[in-house]
Amino acid sequence: MSTQDTRSWQSIHQEVLRRINDRIWRPGEFIPNEAELAEEFGCARATVNRALRELADAGYLDRRRKAGTRVALHPVRKATLDIPIIRLDVEQRGAAYGYSLIELVRTSPPVRIRSRLRLQDGVEMLHIRALHLANGHPYAYEDRWVNPTAVPDILSADLSAISANEWLVRNATFTRGDIAFSATNAGPVEAEMLSVPEGAALFVVERTTWMRGVPITSVLIAYAPGHRMHTTL
């Protein structure tokens, strides 16, 4: 890793995971303490702590107060889903990507969003609606609410040039989230956006992400008929 790389907890996370997977640090063995790792990587202890905490939450490390940190004897493999960047998904299918920002307003979210994100009345969020295209045809309709308190830099982002989906994946680190997949019949809005008849069967993803108790975003993405999702375990 370069000096600049070691300043991010994500890079330290990747390096520690590499050492575990390559058996440089074997199951049951103690790893260097936070102070030693901070000196090695040239960063703050808090940065190392964040990386180790994430690995412990994922089941790779066993951390005990005053006893040190060991590589887990029997790592628990957890199923994970990466949040896809829709542009890359389209391009990987061999299609030309297009994007149109339909709406960007700062307003109070409806009750269903406030309830999902546990927000009080009067809180303002960014409401973003966008259409993603593949070879000039509707590919996915994005209806998103973003909490600017959690990601203030999004207020200065040019969301007409980069989608909120891509900006958030690249700039907003989340600690937990929930995701739901469903088959839904297109309502009037989805039918208009995706150029399909009302009632057409759509694949819909609803996702919410959080940063330590602070909601980041809640999004509904409706895909045009025929969409197929692929992931790995």
Give tens-digit pLDDT for 137-180: 999 999 999 999 999 999 999 999 999 999 999 998 887 889 99
Q: How confident is the model at residue 76 (pLDDT cuts 50, 70, 90)?
A: low
For helices 45-57 and 9-21, what crossing angle results, to 10°? 50
Binning pLDDT at 50, 70 and 90, where does residue 202 land? very high
CB 209 within 8 A of CB 216: yes
- Nearest Cα to Cα of residue 8 among 50, 70, 59, 37: 50
For residue 31, pLDDT beyond 50: yes
pLDDT at position 173 is: 83
**Which among 146, 116, 230 has a CA at the least distance from the CA of 181?**
230
- Residue range(s) occupied by CATH 1.10.10.10 in the chain: 5-71
Beta bridge partners of 144: 128, 219
pLDDT of residue 79: 55
Q: Which residues of 142-161 are buried (b: 16+ CB within 10 A; e: fewer)?
A: bbbbbbeebbeebeeeebee
- Residue extent(s) of CATH 3.40.1410.10 domains in the chain: 86-223
Contacts of 212 (CB under 8 A, 6+ apart): 175
CATH (residue range 5-71): 1.10.10.10
- In the chain, which residue ranges form alpha helices assigned H by DSSP? 9-21, 34-41, 45-57, 86-92, 111-117, 164-171, 188-194
- Give the pLDDT of residue 134: 97
- Please determine, for residue 3, whether its predicted confidence score (pLDDT) is greater than 70: no
Query: pLDDT digits over 128-144, tens only?
Result: 999 999 999 999 999 99
Nearest 10 degrees: CA dihedral of 46, 152, 140, 202?
80
Task: Give me the mean pLDDT over the 110-122 stretch.
Answer: 91
Name residue 137's amino acid.
H
Cβ atoms of 130 and 104 within 8 Å: the answer is no
pLDDT of residue 167: 96
Query: What pLDDT shows up at residue 42?
Result: 92
103 CA to centre of own chain: 22
Residues 86-223, CATH architecture:
3-Layer(aba) Sandwich (3.40)
- Read off the pLDDT of residues 174-199 as tens digits, 9 standing for 90 and up: 878 899 999 999 999 999 999 999 99
The pLDDT score that the predictor gives to residue 209 is 94
Phi-psi region of 116 (alpha: psi -120 to 50; beta: other; left: phi over 0): alpha
Of 69-73, 80-84, 88-92, 97-101, least confident by mean pLDDT is 80-84
The rounded mean pLDDT for the chain is 90
Q: In this predicted structure, what is the pLDDT of residue 4?
A: 41
Q: What is the DSSP letter of 3?
A: T
| Contact present, 177 and 210 (Cβ < 8 Å) | yes
